[in-house]
Amino acid sequence: MMLIKYRHTDGAIRGTWSTDLESLLRHQMQGDDPAHGYLMQAEDIDVGLVSDRYYVTGERLTPKTALTLTADPTMFPADGRTVCRVTVTPFVPCTLLVDGQPLALTPGDSVLELTAQAAHTFFIALDPMVTAWAEPIAVEAADAAR
């Protein structure tokens, strides 16, 4: 059994608790919190994935849309000229975190272009979204002499 705390305005999951004793879960609820709701979930879902892969709509747990981050090429020479293009499929306006640095993708600018002058591994992740998720990727700019 799992208790899920979510934000009323958008369904974003703000906390999860899991135990076999429903009474312990009920003690976590804060009844006078107008900004948040609580959902008891009997379905067996990995508690570690709930906030990453689900949100709440209509007092039900709803799977987030799975997005795919794609880099082309995934390995490129660090020569300052070669471009690696990173896209999100299906496209939604979002923010990508490149080594922790936020970069927005918009309908008018939907491709992230990377170049490098020195060897470097870029770690790219989707900035957390309420209704979508994506597995992070790594892109390697290799020493041009390799």
The pLDDT tens digits of the residues spanning 80-120 come to: 999 999 999 999 999 999 999 999 999 999 999 999 999 99
For residue 42, pLDDT beyond 90:
no
For residue 25, pLDDT beyond 80:
no
What does the pLDDT read at residue 145? 64
145 vs 105, residue with greater confidence: 105
When pLDDT is cut at 50, 70 and 90, the band that residue 46 belongs to is confident
Q: From 90, 76, 82, select the one nearest 138 (Cα to Cα).
A: 76
What does the pLDDT read at residue 89? 97
What does the pLDDT read at residue 27? 65
121 vs 33, residue with greater confidence: 121
Predicted model pTM: 0.85
Give me the chain's average pLDDT, please.
91
145 vs 81, residue with greater confidence: 81
Q: What contacts 24+ positions apart, CB below 8 Å, involve 90-95? A: 90/65, 92/65, 92/67, 92/129, 92/132, 94/67, 94/126, 94/127, 94/129, 94/132, 95/126, 95/127
Digit-coded pLDDT (tens) for 49-68:
898 999 999 989 999 999 99
Copy the structure tokens of residue 24.
């312990």
All domains of the chain, ordered by start, with CATH? 2-63 (no CATH), 66-142 (2.60.40.10)
